[in-house]
Structure 1
Amino acid sequence: MTVYEFELRFSAPPGDHVVDALYEAGWDDALIAFDPDTGGEGWGTFRREAPSAIQAVVSAIRQGRRAEVDLLGVTEDYVSLAEIAERTGRTLAAVDHWATGRRGAGGFPEPRVPRPRVSLYSWAEVTIWLVEHGLAAMSPADVEIARICEVADATLRARRLQNHLAEAEREELNLAVA
């Protein structure tokens, strides 16, 4: 089995019982960061052994729900060029050249959050591009977990946001995107 690394963000009411409940629900393979005195947000950093990335992430989500925490999202998918350089062991100049098309195969993923100084890119899209063009040594597990985390994060955020809609609006939206 493969070990997958990812984070789940959550929110919970104050109390020591939250960390205990998460551990008892199965987060014994996660480092949990949460201030039980103030409540609010926390996260679990996982190194989970599983047959696939989807099974690793889904099992952690189910366990978080059993512990009755509000799951906010999965590993942040947005990275800067500097973070891409750090994760791939390349220089910032090399990554900038890929992004601008001055070097490499071209077709580098467009930024998800374009900014004048520091744009943010989808790590899932970047890992796929790097592997396709042989520009960084990424394990299949690294690519798989990045892709699954991107989708899981979007799904959790969308479900949380849908709770702010009236039932009729939620049903209409679900029918439109089904």
Structure 2
Amino acid sequence: MNRDFGTAVILAGGNRKTSREHRREMCTYIVGQLQQIFSDVLIISDTPWVYENMSVRIEEDLKPNHGPMGGIYTAMKYSITKYVYVLACDMPIINEEYISYMLGVLSMEEADACVTLNQGWVEPFNAFYSTDLFYSLEDSMAKGENSMYNFLGKQRAIIVPEETARFYDQDLAMFKDLETFEEYGQFKRGKLSDTKGKKLWL
């Protein structure tokens, strides 16, 4: 892993439809996957005690009332590398090939972020952000402007077209978030598969 890209952050907010126990279990799985790719993995949450005694750093969300922007801001604060990979705790489908693709794009083109367009909207997660955006994010939140879509439109952001993302994941399952108990149960029973047909829960 390039020394500029060694940090991955899982955002585990408290406002979820699944229970804390389920979120912790999901995070445990995601941590294991990300540790195979990144040298430093941490969890950021407004309920950090839920994730105590896990094998990664746990930090409290510094801006819990600002949505994804607040979590991404906190991720930059605690990142030990220039770029930080950000994922939500209910997005367990990790596509390593797509992560490698984004790394390659950022290595060749100087930019502050690499995000993906999905049905005309920018996906804030499964994305890379430069810590150079830290103070710009701080200013944006101070003005009450919490939209990552609008924010990225003013930055040097690489926005990957949807058709490019579908080359790596035809159904864009890597952006699927499990929001209900039913979906979580399907995931745990191995009913949801990654893009290569492998069961996610082992």
The structure whose residues are more often helix, as a share, is 1
Same-fold call, TM > 0.5?
Answer: no
TM-score (norm 2): 0.26
TM-score (normalised: structure 1):
0.28
Which has the higher Rg, Structure 1 or Structure 2? 1
